[in-house]
Structure 1
Amino acid sequence: MLNLLHTPSQLLTDERLQQMCREGNIIEQDPRGPKVIQLPDGDFLKIFRARRVFSGARLYSHARRFYRNALRLQALDIPTVTVKSLYHLSHSGHTAVVYQPLAGQTLRQLMASDLARLYPLAAKLGTFLATMHDKGVHFHSLHSGNVLLMPNSEFGLIDVSDMTIYPWSLMCATRIRSFVRLGKYHEEMVVLDKAFWQAAMQGYQQASAKAARCVPSILASIDYLQSR
């Protein structure tokens, strides 16, 4: 894995990027330009633009973090995307990855279109999150748009550039922070009611003996977020 983490990035020229935009489908963009492009073969190009002249991302790019985290998650048997290529753009500090996506639907998509399918999977979602936390994964961008339900009814993670993976299981305070991040999207906390989260926490607790003392505090945090 060490060799893979030091894989050199390739130059993605402006001309090649424009060609990718023309031939592919722009999924996400902002005032600075395209951010995510679906390529004709089904892979995705994700662009990370450095926001500041002096930034840690210029020393160790977001694209390389994305690559590193995907490799580490795979080593931990946590389903995620497969990165195929690393790029640096002509503009200083801008980087990109091409990755093979996971098949499936995000929790956010299911909440909008097929909520009934999600409720029976609440305990399984709790088990997935407990397993992730027991393996030391603190996903700083944990929200319903980054957790995917795959066709085999297992869960996986996408958009994985922003996480810390510790060599020990997460402490209670860190586990609670992971769930509190979900409260950023209050409308989603309301859609998934107390019964859903109680079932999820039953699965969470059953999957992790270390999590038992954390569950009451996690549920209290969720109750507070839903009642705001």
Structure 2
Amino acid sequence: MRIVTAKEFQDWLSQGEVLEKDSHGAKVIRLSDGKLLKIFRSRRLPLLARLSPEAARFDDRAKRLQAIGIQTPTICETCWIDRSKLVSACLYEPLAGQPLDRLFRDSRAQFDLLLPQLAAYIYHLHRRGIYFRSLHLGNILRTPDNDFGLIDFLDIRFKNRPLGHMLIRRNFQHLRNYLQRRKVENFPWEELMAAYKTASKASR
């Protein structure tokens, strides 16, 4: 991974649009050419972070997901923003689509119609052994080809077999916790669970 110069990073900041930030600074920047720069500030042990930086892990997960037919952003480059402070970054082409949290907020009727397909998609992930701790409406996109895609998937784990009941329950609990934190009201939870059960029966 190359090390980005201070001038190049400052140019990205001054010419781009900061889409997400926290107390440490920018997290996601839209550059002038439309690409996105996602910045990772590691909290792992320094040796582990240098051997396997977050940006490289994000790139690896994107490739593994794409290899099994799951749509993700296309990674163009991984780099170090500040290696001494364990700050790495991915430059990527954004995945076209609408986040499901926006669809739920702006077009509830359309979202409800998608529930069976969404449940089947989640079931497909689980059958492929994909445990996505950050499974929530902001990290799933409705793509222009009427499918779904994933973003912000650094914490995905790949199991060698379909997820068991315990991990499935835990995964849905992450989604439920997200809805509670965001104070999302009137989410069709029972309908989603029923559609997931229907998808699991249909695959047998």
Q: Same fold (TM over 0.5)?
A: yes
Give the CA deviation at 1:90. 2.7
Q: Is the aligned partner of 1:205 residue 2:200? A: yes
How many positions carry a matched residue from both structures? Answer: 201
Structure 2 CA distance for partners of 1:51 and 1:202, relative to 1, 3 Å: closer
Query: One-letter code of the match for 1:154?
Result: D
Unaligned runs of 5+ in 1: 1-8, 210-228
Structure 2 CA distance for partners of 1:96 and 1:119, relative to 1, 3 Å: same
Moved >4 Å (runs of 4+): none
Aligned equivalents of 1:144, 1:126: Cα separation in 2: 12
Aligned equivalents of 1:130, 1:13: Cα separation in 2: 43
Task: Map 1:98-177 onto structure 2 (within 5 A).
Answer: 98-177=91-170
Are the aligned partners of 1:122 and 1:199 in contact in 2 as well (CA < 8 Å)? no
Are the aligned partners of 2:100 and 2:142 in contact in 1 as well (CA < 8 Å)? yes
User: Identity of aligned pairs, percent?
Assistant: 35
Which residue pairs with 2:191 in the alignment? 196
Structure 2 CA distance for partners of 1:53 and 1:129, relative to 1, 3 Å: closer
Give the CA deviation at 1:154. 0.7
Give the CA deviation at 1:202. 4.2
Unaligned runs of 5+ in 2: none
Aligned CA RMSD, in angstroms, stands at 1.9
Aligned equivalents of 1:100, 1:175: Cα separation in 2: 31
Which residue pairs with 2:19 in the alignment? 27
Which residue pairs with 2:41 in the alignment? 49
Query: One-letter code of the match for 2:200?
Result: Q
Query: One-letter code of the match for 1:25?
Result: E
Are the aligned partners of 2:4 and 2:81 in contact in 1 as well (CA < 8 Å)? yes
Are the aligned partners of 1:50 and 1:58 in contact in 2 as well (CA < 8 Å)? no
Are the aligned partners of 1:124 and 1:203 in contact in 2 as well (CA < 8 Å)? no
Which residue pairs with 1:224 in the alignment? none
Give the CA deviation at 1:207. 4.9
Aligned equivalents of 2:141, 2:183: Cα separation in 1: 15
Out of 54, 63, 68, the residue aligned to residue 62 of structure 1 is 54
Which residue pairs with 2:6 in the alignment? 14
Are the aligned partners of 1:134 and 1:208 in contact in 2 as well (CA < 8 Å)? no
Helix, strand or coil for the counterpart of 1:125? helix
Q: Deviations over 1:100-144 (max 9, x none)?
A: 111111111112211211111100001111111111111121111
Are the aligned partners of 1:28 and 1:37 in contact in 2 as well (CA < 8 Å)? yes
Q: Deviations over 1:177-223 (max 9, x none)?
A: 111101222156643224532453245324543xxxxxxxxxxxxxx
Q: Is the aligned partner of 1:78 residue 2:73? A: no
Out of 168, 176, 184, the residue aligned to residue 183 of structure 1 is 176
Structure 2 CA distance for partners of 1:193 and 1:54, relative to 1, 3 Å: same
Query: One-letter code of the match for 2:191?
Result: F
The normalised TM-score by structure 1 is 0.81
Give the CA deviation at 1:161. 0.9
Aligned equivalents of 2:183, 2:104: Cα separation in 1: 8
Aligned equivalents of 1:110, 1:41: Cα separation in 2: 26
Are the aligned partners of 1:129 and 1:204 in contact in 2 as well (CA < 8 Å)? no
Aligned equivalents of 1:42, 1:99: Cα separation in 2: 9
